Structure 1
């Protein structure tokens, strides 16, 4: 990410970006998905807002609620992050073999309670 010009985000802040829908997500939903308090998630949102990656807007369905969404710079960061993840997976596949990587991703997906890598 640093080589792509995106060194501003720390690993802890990825906990926000990985749970954020591209069309925006309510703060309470982000906190629920990340298993964090609203206050802790709000701190991550503040940090990512200061970096210019996300913004807060009134929820069009409920003006009292706020949603968070990626800014154009945030969407560019998301694209670069996707490229970095694909590169890391390719490097791992080169090291351990594609079948071992698939098995590991399936196992990690089961462990995390999702279907990643399935």
Structure 2
């Protein structure tokens, strides 16, 4: 085992921040532009466009807490075996879950992500 704790380098941190911001932006767009707008809901009645189908899929997924469960599972895997890829996936799922009405599970996943910084990391250099 390495002596260093899990901590991404500068380049990896930039990629993680960019992908996390992209996931957060997508979730904000989906929630405030498509899901919460009653005009969009009325326009989607009986219409099968890609936007309406995406809206229906997102509503179904957050109804079953899929975003929060995915964030929790990814964060738990990150806690058990830290890696940059799993941290990025868990961060993206957590940010989507927080915005898309799965606050409880996604907040727990965020806590697990914070704890994962204290774990020893095999990918540590030095």
Question: TM-score normalised to the size of structure 1?
Answer: 0.27
Q: Which one has a larger percent helix, Structure 1 or Structure 2?
A: 2
Asked which structure has the greater CA Rg, the reply is: 2
Task: Return the structure number with greater relative CO, CA threshold 8 A, min gap 6.
Answer: 2
Q: Which one has a larger percent strand, Structure 1 or Structure 2?
A: 1
Question: TM-score normalised to the size of structure 2?
Answer: 0.26
